[in-house]
Amino acid sequence: MKANLTLIGFLLLLFGFIYFILSLLGIKFIPFALLYKLSGLSQLLIQIAMMFGGVILMYVSMTAEEETQQ
């Protein structure tokens, strides 16, 4: 379970970062096609939510591991 949360968090962080970089460069990536139809502010909020959500999931999965070991 902890490894799954860490993997999901890492993927969210990675895809959020890739989406952010590609949008800065003006490159459209097909898996994000639905997100490109949103307004600029909505896209930015989703990018930030993906990145912070990934970091939070990784942090929670790591702290849950430390608490079970004690």
pLDDT-based confidence at 66, cuts 50/70/90?
low
The total number of structural domains in the chain stands at 1
Residue 70 lies in a domain: no
Residue partners of 37: CB distance under 8 A and separation at least 6: none
Convert the pLDDT of each residue in 29-61 to its tens digit: 888 888 888 888 998 899 899 999 999 999 998
Domain of residue 57, residue span: 2-65
Cβ–Cβ < 8 Å for 61, 2: yes
Residue 48 lies in a domain: yes
Cβ–Cβ < 8 Å for 40, 26: no
Residue 40 lies in a domain: yes
